[in-house]
Amino acid sequence: MSHVGIIGGGIIGLCSAYYLHKAGHKVTLFEQASIANGCSFGNAGMIVPSHIVPLAQPGMIAKGLQWMLKSTSPFYVKPRLDADLMRWGWLFYKHSTPAHVERSIPVLRDLSFLSKRLYQDLATHDGLSFGWQERGLFMLYKTAAAEKEMAEEAEIANHAGVEAQILNGKQVQEMEPHVRVTVQGAVYYPGDAHLNPNELMGALVTYLRQEGVAILENHPVTGFGTSGSRVTTIHARGSFDVDEVVIAGGAWSPGIAQQLGLQLPLQGGKGYSFMLPGTTNAIQIPAIMLEARATATPIGTDLRFAGTLEVAGTDLRVNMNRVRGIADAINQYYPDIPVAMPVADSVWRGLRPCSPDGLPYLGRAARYDNVVLATGHGMMGVSLGPVTGKLVSELIDNSRQSMDTTAFQPDRFA
Ligand SMILES: Cc1cc2nc3c(=O)[nH]c(=O)nc-3n(C[C@H](O)[C@H](O)[C@H](O)COP(=O)(O)OP(=O)(O)OC[C@H]3O[C@@H](n4cnc5c(N)ncnc54)[C@H](O)[C@@H]3O)c2cc1C
């Protein structure tokens, strides 16, 4: 049994703690603020095996440049003279190729399929309650251009073994009997699911604490002690001796890795969400409103709307223009939903940890014998939480991996 120190109390840190504890390790998890601090709380809660095409894809740079001209648009890169941002942008550009997409599809698919199976186990076997629902996902569109884009994606998905159905507006309406939907059509992914991220995080924390896992909130990790190629100590309001270290610090991971001399190209992709309470049964099936890149998720008796991706480092300020972009989009797809511009205090924001090639970092750092990196899941961290936790535990045990993790090597850009 090893003593494993996990840095970061988001979904990746908690899932790593879960599987490491199950495998018999002593676990101490360090969180710099409260568990609700990171990106894993107010997100859209969609479990998306449908998302097999990485963000770095042909055409994305051109699309991003168009979006950047409008203050309410769903994508923005704040221009900064910042060497890390420039390197990240260059790597993103280099990976926006058909060959990279082709290589990434099977690995993202396999990660997602396994993660969904693990969620099904979590929801049934361990009696964790987190609003698990398997109702699929709509990619809703209103324009011919989006229809064409989605038809291509549906073909790619079906070819890769991820079921996708192309529906017209009438068929979409039949599947959403309680709310008017004004769209040209949708691609429906029946294999997607959704959950309540706040309940999921709460349930994991309660379970882990009951099991004796130490979850230390307000313990920012500020440094490490090393001996040769091993990290021996984590400094976080005191010194903790450890056998293994897992860096799961989300958008803050580059700064943590830097303390060990490791370079990790990663940018925070800021997004926002807000709730519309008391709209029970209005929307049954989670949806991405494609042209607006905004999402709608039924969460308990409420609806959550989310969207935007601002490449922002670790800047957490709320830009209400972008929030307006989300709020304004909703009635274009669901004209009768009583949505209004939210007040700033009610808007949640989170930083997606975005790697430049759209694949997570998951593996041992080459320079150390006992450091595992688990971050960079971008728009899919909730979806990929359980599989990441399981693979982290297998890496630390040096046991047979549930799947090949070569594509996720943390040193791949060195
Ligand atoms: C608007 C929006 C919608 C989204 N919707 C979805 C979705 O529908 N489905 C999906 O799969 N994903 C979604 N995501 C993405 C998902 O939320 C993230 O990928 C995921 O939460 C990342 O988890 P994480 O554990 O890596 O990071 P985080 O949740 O950010 O956790 C990292 C933690 O590390 C802590 N930390 C940082 N530095 C230190 C330090 N030095 N010491 C100790 N602790 C430290 C931070 O405080 C933080 O709590 C969405 C994201 C956004 C913004």
Residue 313 has pLDDT above 90, yes or no: no
Residue 271 CB–ligand 1 contact under 6 Å? yes
Asked whether the beta carbons of 155 and 263 are under 8 A apart, the reply is no
Q: Is residue 131 part of a domain?
A: yes
d(CA 399, CA 397): 5
Q: Kindly state the average pLDDT of the residues 213-225.
A: 98
Ligand 1 atom at minimal distance to the Cα of residue 194: 8
Residue 41 has pLDDT above 90, yes or no: yes
d(CA 46, CA 196): 9
d(CA 281, CA 296): 13
Q: Is residue 276 part of a domain?
A: yes
Inter-residue long-range contacts of 120-123, CB under 8 Å, 24+ positions, other chains counted: 122/386
What pLDDT, on the 0 to 100 scale, is given for residue 71? 65
Q: Is residue 103 part of a domain?
A: yes
Tell me, in angstroms, the distance from the centre of ligand 1 to residue 406's CA.
23
Q: What are phi and psi of 295, to 5 degrees?
A: -125, 155
Mean pLDDT of the chain: 94
Q: Is residue 298 part of a domain?
A: yes
What pLDDT, on the 0 to 100 scale, is given for residue 66? 65
Residue 249 CB–ligand 1 contact under 6 Å? yes
Structural domain containing residue 288: 3-408
Residue 31 CB–ligand 1 contact under 6 Å? yes
pLDDT confidence of 280, banded at 50, 70, 90?
confident
pLDDT tens sequence across 131-188? 999 999 999 999 999 999 999 999 999 999 999 999 999 999 999 999 999 999 999 9
Q: Are strands 230-235 and 214-216 parallel, antiparallel or unpaired?
A: unpaired
pLDDT tens sequence across 86-144? 999 899 999 999 999 999 999 999 999 999 999 999 999 877 999 999 999 999 999 99
What pLDDT, on the 0 to 100 scale, is given for residue 1? 87
Tell me, in angstroms, the distance from the centre of ligand 1 to residue 36's CA.
10
What pLDDT, on the 0 to 100 scale, is given for residue 69? 59
What pLDDT, on the 0 to 100 scale, is given for residue 62? 66
Q: Is residue 413 part of a domain?
A: no
Residue 46 has pLDDT above 90, yes or no: yes
Domain containing 204 — which CATH number?
3.50.50.60
Q: Is residue 296 part of a domain?
A: yes
Residue 267 CB–ligand 1 contact under 6 Å? no
Percent of the chain whose pLDDT exceeds 90: 87
Tell me, in angstroms, the distance from the centre of ligand 1 to residue 10's CA.
5
Residue 380 CB–ligand 1 contact under 6 Å? yes
Q: Kindly state the average pLDDT of the residues 209-221.
A: 97
Residue 67 CB–ligand 1 contact under 6 Å? no
What pLDDT, on the 0 to 100 scale, is given for residue 74? 65
pLDDT confidence of 70, banded at 50, 70, 90?
low
Q: Kindly state the average pLDDT of the residues 72-76.
A: 68
Residue 355 CB–ligand 1 contact under 6 Å? no
Residue 28 CB–ligand 1 contact under 6 Å? no
Dihedral sign for Cα atoms in the order 131, 114, 19, 258: negative
Tell me, in angstroms, the distance from the centre of ligand 1 to residue 13's CA.
9
d(CA 406, CA 412): 9
Percent of the chain whose pLDDT exceeds 70: 97
d(CA 320, CA 343): 9
Q: Are strands 287-289 and 137-141 parallel, antiparallel or unpaired?
A: parallel
Residue 377 CB–ligand 1 contact under 6 Å? yes
List, in sequence order, every residue forming a beta bridge with 353; answer none if it has no partner.
268
Q: Is residue 414 part of a domain?
A: no
What pLDDT, on the 0 to 100 scale, is given for residue 6? 98
What is the separation, in whole angstroms, between the first and last Cα of the chain?
Answer: 32
Q: Is residue 22 part of a domain?
A: yes
Residue 44 CB–ligand 1 contact under 6 Å? yes
What pLDDT, on the 0 to 100 scale, is given for residue 73? 64
Tell me, in angstroms, the distance from the centre of ligand 1 to residue 37's CA.
9
Ligand 1, atom 37, lies closest to the CA of 249
Q: How many domains does the chain have?
A: 1
